[in-house]
Structure 1
């Protein structure tokens, strides 16, 4: 009897392998052969699922974004206002090796998205989702009397999103400098400014 292949599971295994290879070797080291070997498959096994490396990179970005969102959902469950806002931000900030590795996936995706309309649209949609969530947490904090800044909620979301994405760049490109920074302290200082 032929072996039944779970195609969704195989696709996920290949995306996970891509994530690990890019984190370890960078985008240039993430050849289709390396990814297949990392996943434990023959080189030709990637083609039916991901005909191009760009498609695989897009899937890896989507995977990292979804993993981050799953963590965010867990840590913000039952929280609201400033506590939910802080919890959201700490899951995006590169505070440990896993989140630094995620930043190493995001940066090559950004580079490709500069010249690829589909990748750019995926990034824009993802960041818009985060922006709306940050603004909603800020609004809830304002209603609860935790935030008194005259800045609009959307402006707060702009600041926090830029801080988190900038921290990802520093973490991926300058690890020594990154780990000497107190990102949680910087976040707390910013949040303190919002409370007046």
Structure 2
């Protein structure tokens, strides 16, 4: 009897293998052959799931974003205002090896998005979703009196979002093994400026 294959599970296995290869060898080293070997599959076994490296990278970016959003939903459940904003940011910041590896997927995707309108749209939609969430948390914090900054919420949200994205670049480029870049302290300092 033929083995039943869970195609969604197989795609996620390939994405995990892609992350491991990129973490070790960089995006250029993440060839389809290397990814197949890392995942324990024959090279041709990837084609039905991802016909090209480009389709795999796009799926990997979407998976990073979705996985981050799942974590955000878990940690912000029942929270509002500054508490929700802090929890949101902590899940985006590359504070551990898993999230640093996620940054290593996102950065090559951004590079490709510069000249690819489809990928640029995926990134833009993702950032609009995060910007809206940050705005919601800021509005809650203003309503409760926790934020009194004279800077308007849209500007604050844009600043915070750029800080989070920049942190991903800093973590991905940090020397191997250097996980603590002071990002948690920088976030707390930013939030303190809003709540004074």
After TM superposition, the score normalised by the length of structure 1 is 0.95
Q: Which stretches in structure 1 are left out of the alignment for 5+ residues? A: none
Contact 2:97 2:179 in 1 (8 A): no
State the Cα RMSD in Å: 1.5
- 1:160 deviates by 0.6
1:134 is matched with which residue?
134
- 1:14 deviates by 1.3
1:8 is matched with which residue?
8
Contact 2:141 2:147 in 1 (8 A): yes
Q: Secondary structure at the match of 2:160?
A: helix
Q: Secondary structure at the match of 2:146?
A: coil
Q: How does 1:115-130 map to 2 (within 5 A)?
A: 115-130=115-130
Q: How does 1:106-185 map to 2 (within 5 A)?
A: 106-175=106-175, 179=179, 181-185=181-185
2:57 is matched with which residue?
57
1:27 equivalenced with 2:27 (yes/no): yes
1:186 is matched with which residue?
186
For residues 18 and 118 of structure 1, the distance between their equivalents in structure 2, rounded to whole angstroms, comes to 21
Counting matched residue pairs gives 196
Q: Which stretches in structure 2 are left out of the alignment for 5+ residues? A: none
Q: Secondary structure at the match of 1:48?
A: coil
For residues 139 and 150 of structure 2, the distance between their equivalents in structure 1, rounded to whole angstroms, comes to 12
- 1:178 deviates by 6.5
- 1:174 deviates by 2.6
- 1:175 deviates by 3.3
For residues 131 and 65 of structure 2, the distance between their equivalents in structure 1, rounded to whole angstroms, comes to 14
- 1:181 deviates by 3.1
1:76 is matched with which residue?
76
After TM superposition, the score normalised by the length of structure 2 is 0.95
Q: Secondary structure at the match of 1:135?
A: helix
- 1:176 deviates by 6.8
For residues 177 and 10 of structure 2, the distance between their equivalents in structure 1, rounded to whole angstroms, comes to 37
In structure 2, relative to structure 1, the CA distance for the partners of 1:178 and 1:191 (3 Å cut) is farther
- 1:179 deviates by 4.3
Contact 2:96 2:179 in 1 (8 A): no
1:43 equivalenced with 2:43 (yes/no): yes
For residues 18 and 70 of structure 1, the distance between their equivalents in structure 2, rounded to whole angstroms, comes to 20
More displaced 10-residue stretch of structure 1: 50-59 or 8-17:
8-17
